[in-house]
Amino acid sequence: MHTADKHPIIAIATASGRGAVGIVRISGRNLRAWAQQWLGQELKARHAHYLPFPDATGRAIDQGLALFFPAPHSYTGEDVLELQAHGGPIVLQMLVARAMETASAQQDNTAANTQAWLPNLRLAEPGEFTRRAFLNDKLDLAQAEAVADLIDASTESAARSASLSLSGAFSEAIHTLRDGFTHLRMLVEATLDFPEEDIDFLEAANARGQLADLRAQLTTIGQRARQGALLRDGMHIVIAGQPNAGKSSLLNALAGAELAIVTPIAGTTRDKVEQTIQIEGVPLHIIDTAGLRETDDVVEQIGVQRAWEAVDKANVVLFLHDSAQANNSAYQAGDAAILAQLQARLPGHVPVVDVWNKSDLTGTDVAAVAAAEGAALHISAKTGQGLDALRQQLLQLAGHETVTEDIFTARARHLQALAEVDEHLGNAEAHIDSPAPALDLLAEELRLAQLALNRITGEFSADDLLGVIFSSFCIGK
């Protein structure tokens, strides 16, 4: 721990502005004597004391509750003092100033006037209380990040997902997987250490079966984490299709604003247009793209290339079809070619939703078609028909209506780490399945997979990574 991390810290822990109650939080070592001298009363552990908070003259700045949590049974693992006062910003600032004033007062060396003081008390940095909880093993890194996600949650589903991770469910799943790696590594490395033993390791230890089980666990964890990331960060939804299918009209309809130019001329959109909307609190990043087709127009070619680049980064692709062209064989061939490319480019977990637009031109009864075809989506971006059903399907894909007890809140770095683990497991399977398995390479792939897992919970994390993570927290947390 750095020297600065050992200094006591103080912050206003409640949101800025006026409120009924405001909290000043202090964390450090050996706070009890200093707190009792300042407040003039012995503080019992985890007991709410109603008392005045005195200024330098002994007059009360305010009256409220003081709660003392001795180490290690506190949020940060250090001594923690919380002062609950009235929530006026001036009152709270006066309490912080007085605390720092008493903390920095020099000791009087006479026995009769020895005063408790708190050297180096300073204002806390964003997220520093939670960082200390992590450094003092009160939370692992995934749980610490879930604290911020719970505070920032914009929907009930996102809050439940963050709460699940904060309880340690995500970390427990990671630890279970890591233990499986440890066991398999132990068997592999033991065989490397004792090559003279005439043991067919791969068969006797069922290494293939163990590795397959680990990869199945990883797939389940990855699915739950990806769903949680969508709830936290929102989905990137790309509207793709042939020119003049109504992609820009659909963007405008979903956004409720004229964001993209709409004309009857095919190829009007030459670049991608992005807009973030919210449906029932879930953020959705909608991206309108240029029509996908072969063209000699250089500018349009660039637009098509950017459209495919957007597709490659999508969480969901809305494949928009022109209902008025349903009987046009050339148009259907174009759609088939686009679908083939989508299937070739997208990972299996990225859904492609077929949406048939322009039902107002074909006279399609959207409700009747939906009842008959079930999952088929027929809409009119012009009249708004079918858009509610589309919105609900997008919410479902984002996990908004899913039973969230099984969804972890997750961040991009978690997903990246899980992807690295999957890559190393794939390499490990290739080594096992080779005619002459290289056990040293197998052991190395398992080691690298375990290191990637450890980054999620923070067993091995660089200080600069911790700085980035905790800097996004609010002050006082």
406 is in an annotated binding site: no
Given CA atoms 236, 239, 240, 243 in this order, what sign does their dihedral have? negative
| CA gap 448, 252 in Å, rounded | 46
Reduced to 3 states (helix: H, G, I; strand: E, B; else coil), residue 170 is helix
409 is in an annotated binding site: no
- Give me the helix-helix angle, 207-233 and 169-193, nearest 10°: 150
172 is in an annotated binding site: no
* Nearest CA among 280, 272, 271 for reference residue 234: 280
25 is in an annotated binding site: yes
| CA gap 186, 194 in Å, rounded | 12
* Nearest CA among 23, 20, 25 for reference residue 8: 25
291 is in an annotated binding site: yes
82 is in an annotated binding site: yes
247 is in an annotated binding site: yes
CB 282 within 8 A of CB 397: no
45 is in an annotated binding site: no
22 is in an annotated binding site: no
Q: Would you call the peptide bond into 119 cis, given omega within 30 degrees of 0 as the criterion? A: no
138 is in an annotated binding site: yes
209 is in an annotated binding site: no
246 is in an annotated binding site: yes
386 is in an annotated binding site: no
248 is in an annotated binding site: yes
249 is in an annotated binding site: yes
158 is in an annotated binding site: no
Q: How far is CA 380 from CA 84, 323, 361, in A?
A: 55, 10, 9
* Nearest CA among 5, 271, 41 for reference residue 129: 5
268 is in an annotated binding site: yes
Annotated binding residues for K(+), written as ranges, equal 244, 263, 265, 268
Binding positions for GTP: 244-249, 263-269, 288-291
Q: Where is the binding site, in residues?
A: 25, 82, 138, 244-249, 263-269, 288-291, 477
**Which residues line the annotated binding site for Mg(2+)?**
248, 269
Binding-site residues for (6S)-5-formyl-5,6,7,8-tetrahydrofolate, please? 25, 82, 138, 477
